[in-house]
Structure 1
Amino acid sequence: MTDSADGTPRRGTCRACGGTTAQFLDLGRQPLSDRFLTEDQLADEFFFHLAVGVCAGCTMVQLMEEVPREEMFHQDYPYHSSGSSVMQKHFADTARHLLEHEATGPDPFVVEIGCNDGVMLRTVHEAGVRHLGFEPSGGVADVARGHGVRVVTEFFEESTARRVRETDGPADVIFAANTICHIPYLDSILRGVDALLAPDGVFVFEDPYLGDILDKTSFDQIYDEHFFFFSARSVQALAARFGFALVDVERLPVHGGEVRYTIARAGARQPAERVAALIGEEDARGVADRSRLDRFAADVEGIRTDLLALLNSLKAEGKRVVAYGATAKSATVTNFCGIGPDLVSWVCDTTPAKQGRLTPGTHIPVRTPDAFTPDAVDYALLFAWNHADEIMAKEQEFRRAGGQWILYVPRVHVTS
Structure 2
Amino acid sequence: MTGAAAPRGEPTCRLCGSQHLRTFLDLGATPPCELFLTADALDLPEVTYPLHVRVCERCLLVQLPPLIDPDETFTEYAYFSSYSTSWVEHAHRFVDDAAERLGLGPDSFVVEVASNDGYLLQHVVARGIPCLGIEPSVNVGAAAREKGVPTLTAFLGAETGARVRAEHGPADLVCLNNVYAHIPDVLGFTKGLRALVADDGWVSIEVQHLLTLVQRNQFDTVYHEHFQYYTVLTAQRALATGGLTVVDVELLDTHGGSIRLWARPDAVAGPPGPRVAEVLAAEKAAGLHTVDGHDGFAASVSAIRDDLVEFLIDARRAGATVVGYGAPGKGNTLLNYCGVRPDLLTYTVDRNPYKHGRFTPGTRIPIHEPDRIAKDRPAYVLVLPWNLREELTEQLAYVREWGGALVFPIPRLEIVR
Shift of residue 64 of structure 1? 3.0
Give the TM-score normalised by the residue count of structure 2: 0.94
Mapping of 1:103-252 within 5 angstroms?
104=104, 107-252=107-252
Rounded to whole Å, the distance in 2 between the matches of 1:91 and 1:199 is 25
Q: Normalising to structure 1: TM-score of the pair? A: 0.94
CA distance in 1, matches of 2:144, 2:21: 38
Give the match's secondary structure for 1:268.
Answer: helix
CA deviation after TM superposition for structure 1 residue 32, in Å: 1.1
Instruction: State yes or no: 1:322 paired with 2:323.
Output: yes
Q: 2:263·2:269 contact (CA, 8 Å) conserved in 1?
A: no
Gaps of 5+ in 1: 1-9
Between the two proteins, the alignment pairs up a number of residues equal to 406
Equivalent residues of 1:103, 1:109 under 8 A apart: no
Name the aligned partner's letter for residue 16 of structure 2. C
Q: CA deviation at 1:190?
A: 1.4
1:4 aligned partner:
none
Residues 94-105 of structure 1 correspond to what in structure 2 (within 5 A)? 94-102=94-102, 104=104
CA contact (8 A) 1:37 1:358 kept: yes
Within 2, Cα distance between the matches of 1:279 and 1:128?
37
- The share of aligned pairs that are identical, in percent, is 37
How far did 1:150 drift? 0.4
The superposition leaves residues 72-122 of structure 1 with CA deviations (integer Å, 9 ceiling, x where unpaired) of: 1013x1211111111111001111222222253772111111000011111
CA distance in 2, matches of 1:48, 1:63: 11
Assess, with a 3 A threshold, how the Cα gap between structure 1 residues 290 and 342 changes in structure 2: closer, same or farther.
Answer: farther
Pair 103,56 (structure 1): closer, same or farther in 2 beyond 3 Å: farther
Q: Residue by residue, what CA displacement relative to the aligned partner does 1:105-154 show, whole Å, maximum 9, x if unpaired?
A: 77211111100001111111111211111111111111110111000111
The question of whether the paired residues in 1 share the 8 Å contact of 2:191 and 2:241 is answered with no
Distance 1:72 1:103 in 2: 37
How far apart in 2 are the matches of 1:300 and 1:288? 21
Once residues 47 and 200 of structure 1 are traced to their aligned partners in structure 2, the CA distance between those partners, rounded to angstroms, is: 45
Q: C-alpha displacement at 1:303, in angstroms?
A: 1.0
The 2-side partners of 1:291 and 1:319 are apart by: 43
For 2:332 and 2:382, how far apart are their aligned partners in 1?
A: 13
Distance 2:374 2:106 in 1: 54
Query: Distance in 2 between the 1:152 and 1:350 partners?
Result: 26
Task: State the alpha-carbon separation in 1 of the partners of residues 52 and 395 from structure 2.
Answer: 36
Give the equivalent residue in structure 2 for 1:14: 13
Encode CA deviations 1:8-54: one digit per residue, 9 max, x unaligned: xx972111221232122111111111111112224153321111111
1:405 CA displacement: 1.7
Distance, in Å, in 2 between the alignment partners of 1:376 and 1:46 is 35
Give CA deviations for 1:189-238 in whole Å, capped at 9, x if unaligned. Answer: 11112222111111111011101110110101101111111111111112
Distance 2:387 2:269 in 1: 34
Offset at residue 374 of structure 1 (A): 7.0
Q: Distance in 2 between matches of 1:105 and 1:206?
A: 22
Q: 1:410 to 1:227 in 2, by over 3 A?
A: same
Is this contact kept in 1: 2:173–2:201, CA < 8 A?
A: yes
| Residue equivalent to 1:262 | 262
Aligned partner letter, 2:253:
P
Q: After alignment, is 357-366 or 281-290 more displaced?
A: 281-290
Name the amino acid aligned to 1:229.
Y
Tell me the distance in 1 between the aligned counterparts of 2:291 and 2:322.
37
Q: Is the 1:66–1:184 Cα contact (8 Å) retained in structure 2?
A: no
Rounded Cα–Cα distance in structure 1 between residues aligned with 2:368 and 2:230? 34
Q: Pairwise mapping of residues 359-398 of structure 1 onto structure 2 (< 5 A)? A: 359-373=360-374, 375-398=376-399
Q: Whole-Å Cα distance in 2 between the matches of residues 315 and 222 of structure 1?
A: 28
Corresponding residue for residue 405 of structure 1: 406
Equivalents in 1 of 2:374, 2:296: separation in Å? 39
| Distance (Å, rounded) in 1 between the aligned partners of 2:132 and 2:21 | 36
Structure 2: give runs of 5+ residues left out of the alignment: 1-8
1:348-373 CA distances to partner (integer Å, 9 max, x unpaired)?
11110001110011100001111012
1:71-110 alignment to 2 at 5 Å? 71-75=72-76, 77-102=77-102, 104=104, 107-110=107-110
Which sits farther off after the overlay, 350-359 or 31-40?
A: 31-40
SS in 1 for 2:198: strand
SS at match of 1:183: coil
- Aligned-partner SS, 1:64: coil
Q: Which residue of 2 aligns with 1:337?
A: 338
Tell me if structure 2 keeps the 8 A contact 1:325–1:383: yes
Alignment of 1:34-73 (within 5 A): 34-42=34-42, 43-73=44-74
Q: State the shift of 1:290 in Å.
A: 4.3
The Cα offsets for residues 171-197 of structure 1, whole Å up to 9 and x where unpaired, read as 111110011110111111111122221
Aligned partners of 1:374 and 1:398 also within 8 Å: no
Q: Secondary structure at the match of 1:182?
A: coil
How far 1:278 sits from its partner (Å)? 0.7
Q: Which moved more, 1:234-243 or 1:251-260?
A: 234-243
- In the superposition, relative to structure 1, how do residues 241 and 375 fare at CA in structure 2: closer, same or farther (>3 Å)? closer
User: How far apart are the structure 2 equivalents of 1:281 and 1:192?
Assistant: 30
The farther-off stretch of 102-111 and 60-69 is: 102-111
Q: 1:154 corresponds to which letter in structure 2?
A: A
Report which stretch shifted further, 391-400 or 101-110: 101-110
Whole-angstrom distance in 1 between the partners of 2:241 and 2:360: 40
How far 1:343 sits from its partner (Å)?
0.5
What's the RMSD between the two structures over aligned residues? Answer: 1.6
**Compared with structure 1, are the counterparts of its residues 406 and 14 closer, same or farther at alpha carbon in structure 2 (3 Å cutoff)?**
same
CA 1:396/1:131 → structure 2, altered by over 3 Å: closer, same or farther?
A: same
Deviation of 1:385 after TM superposition, in Å, equals 0.7
